[in-house]
Amino acid sequence: MGRAVQLSEEFRLAIECCRQSFANCDAAGISHTAKIGSIDWSRFQQLVRFHRIEGLAWNGLESIQIDTPGKVQGALLAAAKKTAGHNLRTSVECRELLGRFDRAAIPVLFLKGLTLGALAYGDPALKSAIDIDLLIDPADLGRAANELRATGYQLVVPSDRGGEALFAWHRRSKESVWLHNQTGTQIDLHTRTADNPRLIPDIKVHSPRQSVEIGGGLSLPTLAEDELFAYLAVHGTATVWFRLKGISDFAGLVHGKEIDEIGHLYRRSQLLGAGRTAAQALLLGDALFGTLGQHPSLRDELLRDRANRILLGTALRRISGSIIEPTEHLFGTWPMHWTPFLFRSGGAYWLSELSAQGGRLINRLRA
C-alpha cells in the first residue's frame, strides 16, 4: 500500500463497512482490521458523509452488530433511509425515461447509479447517487434534448442558450447537466464515455449491453461486463478516486470473480483503450479491499510499471487525505490535470489530452 500512506482507524472501519456490503465479512475480521475501541465516531460520521457511503456504513455496522453510539447510529439510519427513498424515486423516474426514449427510438444506456448498485452490492438501495447518468449516440443529442425538455427537464450546464450551444458543448465535453423543474432530479446526459476521445473510444451506446434488475420488475440496460469494467476504471481515475464510494463500487463489481476472470477483464480493458486506468483501479482496489489477493501474478505485473506505482500512490494519498472537496483548497484539482498524462503513452495521446483539457476549460468559461 505504500509506507507514506497511513490510514486512520475511522477510514479503515469505513473500508470494512463497504467490504461487508459486498463480501459478507465476519464481525471478528472487521474488529481486527479496524480497532473499534479507538474510533472517533464523530470523525467517522463526517468521513462516511464526505465519501457518500452512509448507506453502506449503516448496512455494514448493522450486519456485524458493532456497538455504535446512539447519536451516530440514528444519523446513519436517517441517511440510509434517505438514500433508499431517493433511489426508489429515481427508479420510478428511470422507468419513465426508458419508456420515453424507447418510444422515440433513441437507444440509451444507464451508467452507474441503480444498475451498478445492483451489480456491486445486490441491492440498489444501498448505493448513494446524486444523478441519473444516461448514455446516448451523439447523433441523437437533439432528439434526446427535446425528450428531456418535454418531460420537464431544463438544461443547466451549459446554460440553456438554445441554438448550437448544446452541440458545441458536447464536442468538448462528454456530458451536459439537466434538472427537472419540479422534482429537482438531475440527469447527466453523456454522448461519450470519456472526455479524451482516445480513452475507451469504442465504448458507446451501441456497445454490448446487459439488462439489470433493479427491483419492482424493472430492468435497465447498461454496459456489458467487459465494457463496464473499463468504463468504471476510466471514470474513477478522472477524479483520482477521491471518494471511497467509487472504488467500493469497483471492488464490489470485481469481488468473487475467479483469477482468470479478472485477468480477462484487465486484458480486455487494454483492447478497449482504458490504458493504465484499469491498473490504477485494480491496484487501489487491492490496496483497500484485497481485490487481487488471489491474483498475485497480475499484481506483480502491474506494479512493475513505474507509472502504475505513481498512479496508485497518488490515488491512495488523495482518497485517504483530508475530507475536503478538491475545488475547495489550493491545488486540490491538480492531480486531476496531470495524472491523465500517465494513462497512456505516446505523443498523439498526450496532444489529445491537452486538447481535451483545453476544451473543458473553454466550456467552463462559456458555461
Strand (E) or helix (H) holding 209: strand 209-215
How far is the C-alpha of 212 from the C-alpha of 234, rounded, in Å?
21
* Strand pairing class (175-180; 153-157): antiparallel
Q: What does the pLDDT read at residue 162?
A: 66
Look up residue 187 and give its amino acid. Answer: I
Instruction: Report which residue type is found at 262.
Output: I
Reported as a pLDDT band with limits 50, 70 and 90, residue 4 is: low
- The mean per-residue pLDDT over the stretch 20-28 comes to 74
pLDDT at site 20: 93
Return d(Cα 118, Cα 214) in angstroms, integer. 6
Q: Mean pLDDT over residues 334-363, rounded? A: 95
Q: Which residue in 222, 228, 221 sits closest to 99, CA to CA?
A: 221
Share of the chain above pLDDT 90, in %: 84
- The per-residue pLDDT of the chain, averaged, comes to 93
Q: What is the pLDDT of residue 2?
A: 43
289-319: burial string, b at 16+ Cβ within 10 Å, e else: bebbeebeebbeebeeeebbbebbbbbbebb
Domain extent listing, the chain: 83-223
Fold of 83-223: Beta Polymerase; domain 2 (3.30.460)
Kindly report, residue by residue over 228-281, the tens digit of the pLDDT.
999 999 999 999 999 999 999 999 999 999 989 999 999 999 999 999 999 999
Give the residue among 12, 193, 213 at the shortest CA–CA distance from 117. Answer: 213
Angle, helices 41-50/70-103, rounded to nearest 10 degrees? 10
Average pLDDT in the 324-328 region?
Answer: 88
pLDDT (tens digit per residue) in 328-343: 887 889 999 999 999 9
How confident is the model over 131-174, as pLDDT tens digits? 999 999 999 999 999 999 999 999 999 987 667 899 999 999 99
* For residues 65-89, average pLDDT: 92
Q: Is residue 43 scored above 90 in pLDDT?
A: yes
Phi and psi, residue 189, nearest 5°? -95, 110
pLDDT at 3: 47
Residue 64: pLDDT band by 50, 70, 90 thresholds? confident
